[in-house]
Structure 1
Amino acid sequence: MKEKKGSSLPFEKEELISFEEGLFGFEDYKRFLPLPITEDSDAVLNLLSVEDESLSFIIMNPFLLVSDYEPRLSQDIYKKLEAKDEADLSYYVICVVGDSPENSTVNFKCPIVVNTVSRKAVQVILESEEYRFRHSLKDIGKEVV
């Protein structure tokens, strides 16, 4: 069933991801449509609010940026996501796009975690001290995260 309510883009309800608590700073927006920048790739996505199309985020697969990224989730997060297995989860980091790639950053500290089965999502704050809120894209690969 195609849905359009609040969105000019047609989409299938099953394509949406739902944030029960919203994203940090955007708690009122709960339903987002992930749109791949490159077809059939989750490397970079446009995460578009279907409640307000002027609200979107560029998100990236952190494992394609940093191979040793190791987010650790609490059991509460697994419960919120209704996740039985780590294999059901996908992780994304929000990119703040600057006027050039050198001036763009990603947030490894607060990834978005999506249960690919239930389509539930949360944004979490990782307890690890090794991840920061702003990590320059130009420095990825040059230093440890």
Structure 2
Amino acid sequence: MKLRTKYHGEIEINEKDIFHFECGIPGFLDEKQFVLLPLEDTPFVILQSVKTPALGFAMIDPFGYFPDYDIELDEQTVTQLELSSEKEVAVYVILTVADPFDNTTANLQAPIVLNYEKKLGKQVILTNTPYKTKHRLFPNKVEAK
């Protein structure tokens, strides 16, 4: 199927690659279908809405940037995503891309959790956690103005 995207123009996708978000994403409750599109030659991926071409979230695998990042999924999320093994799970965090790029932040409080096998997804809002919505990707660099 052809898909118009925010960052990749018009592309061809396979319908079996669509992730279903039963409850949408907070702030985008009507957006229930997304595909993951890698950004070539970068560690970033785009969570692209199937329905809305202009809606694409830049994301990263947080463990490469935040090695101590650790989340625990509640039973409701495990059931909703039909998870039976850690091998099925992928975790991403949404970026707020800044200019200059060194000031880009990651939302560690609300990761995107995907079941790769069943193509189910959910943005999980973590509670009772030290994680915030804005953690700098490059904390050792002086903040540029």
Percentage of pairs with the same residue: 31
CA distance in structure 2 between the partners assigned to 1:34 and 1:140 by the alignment: 29
Aligned partner letter, 1:56: G
CA distance in structure 2 between the partners assigned to 1:74 and 1:129 by the alignment: 13
Determine the structure 2 residue equivalent to 1:38.
Answer: 40
Determine the structure 1 residue equivalent to 2:90.
Answer: 90
CA distance in structure 2 between the partners assigned to 1:140 and 1:116 by the alignment: 33
Determine the structure 2 residue equivalent to 1:77.
Answer: 77
Shift of 1:5: 6.9
CA distance in structure 1 between the partners assigned to 2:61 and 2:128 by the alignment: 19
Shift of 1:132: 0.7
Determine the structure 2 residue equivalent to 1:125.
Answer: 125
Determine the structure 1 residue equivalent to 2:66.
Answer: 66
The count of aligned residue pairs is 137
Determine the structure 2 residue equivalent to 1:53.
Answer: 53
Which of residues 1, 15, 19 in structure 1 aligns to 2:17? Answer: 15
Secondary structure of the corresponding residue to residue 27 of structure 2: coil
**Is contact 1:95-1:104 (8 Å) kept?**
yes
Q: Identify unmatched segments of 5+ residues in structure 1.
A: none
Shift of 1:22: 0.9
Determine the structure 2 residue equivalent to 1:26.
Answer: 28
Q: TM-score, normalised by structure 1?
A: 0.86
| Gap change, CA 1:14 and 1:127, over 3 Å in 2 | same
Aligned partner letter, 1:19: F
> Any idea what the Cα deviations from partners look like across 1:33-87, whole Å, max 9, x if unmatched?
1101136x8x310111110111111011011111111110011101100111122
| Gap change, CA 1:61 and 1:5, over 3 Å in 2 | closer
Shift of 1:138: 2.4
CA distance in structure 2 between the partners assigned to 1:33 and 1:20 by the alignment: 14
Shift of 1:114: 0.0
| Gap change, CA 1:46 and 1:140, over 3 Å in 2 | farther
CA distance in structure 1 between the partners assigned to 2:27 and 2:59 by the alignment: 16
CA distance in structure 2 between the partners assigned to 1:13 and 1:133 by the alignment: 31
